[in-house]
């Protein structure tokens, strides 16, 4: 009889990965990061267990947006109060909070559950090339 392997939280060994976003298209970086955070690259992927790895994205300020998205793409947030909707263009978000471009793109590709929130907490995004996670010995990944 063949048994199906089901991962448990204790059986998951998490690795650390670094993605350099300099000159890469935002969506390509986000899809690679989301797959790693969910654990879909592993043979023991289990949909209801967080089997994903930690992901570090560096050079988020130099990520590329194709077409006219820099001027047309809107980022919306709401304060929760009446009339509290705030909108910003992508170029303004890049100027004021460049890491938010990558964070919002990856967040939108993760499940909208408690499990998705746990996956999102393993994402670290930095504006420049430096990050404080060298002790974890992260592996560098190439993005197409």
- Of the listed ranges 25-29, 73-77, 140-144, the least confidently predicted one is 140-144
Domains of the chain, by residue range, sit at 15-64+97-141
Sign of CA dihedral 90, 30, 66, 144: positive
- When pLDDT is cut at 50, 70 and 90, the band that residue 5 belongs to is confident
Measure the CA–CA gap between 62 and 57, rounded to whole angstroms: 11
Average pLDDT, the chain: 95
CB-side exposure of 143: number of CA atoms within 13 Å? 24
Residue 1 has pLDDT above 90, yes or no: no
Measure the CA–CA gap between 57 and 30, rounded to whole angstroms: 9
pLDDT digits (tens, 9 = 90+) for 51-85: 999 999 999 999 999 999 999 999 999 999 999 99
Residue 2 has pLDDT above 90, yes or no: no
- Cβ contacts of residue 129 below 8 Å, gap of 6+? 20, 22, 58, 59
Residue 116 has pLDDT above 90, yes or no: yes
pLDDT digits (tens, 9 = 90+) for 31-57: 999 999 999 999 999 999 999 999 999
Coil, strand or helix: which one is 16? strand
Measure the CA–CA gap between 78 and 80, rounded to whole angstroms: 5
Q: How many CB atoms lie within 10 A of CB 5?
A: 8
CATH of 15-64+97-141, one of 3.40.190.10, 3.90.1180.10, 3.40.50.740, 3.30.450.20: 3.90.1180.10
- When pLDDT is cut at 50, 70 and 90, the band that residue 144 belongs to is confident
Please tell me the total number of residues recorded for the chain in this structure.
Answer: 144
């Amino acid at each position: 009889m063949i048994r199906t392997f089901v991962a448990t939280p204790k059986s998951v060994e998490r690795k650390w990965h670094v993605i350099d976003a300099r000159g890469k298209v935002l969506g390509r970086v986000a899809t690679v990061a989301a797959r790693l955070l969910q654990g879909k690259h592993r043979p023991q992927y289990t949909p209801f267990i967080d089997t994903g790895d930690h992901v570090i994205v560096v050079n988020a300020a130099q990520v590329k947006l194709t077409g006219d998205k820099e001027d047309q793409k809107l980022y919306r947030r709401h304060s929760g109060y009446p009339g509290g909707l705030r909108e910003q263009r992508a170029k303004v978000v890049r100027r004021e909070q460049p890491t938010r471009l990558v964070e919002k793109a990856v967040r939108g590709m993760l499940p909208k559950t408690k499990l998705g929130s746990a996956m999102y907490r393993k994402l670290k995004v930095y504006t420049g090339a430096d990050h404080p996670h060298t002790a974890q010995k992260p592996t560098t990944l190439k993005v197409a």
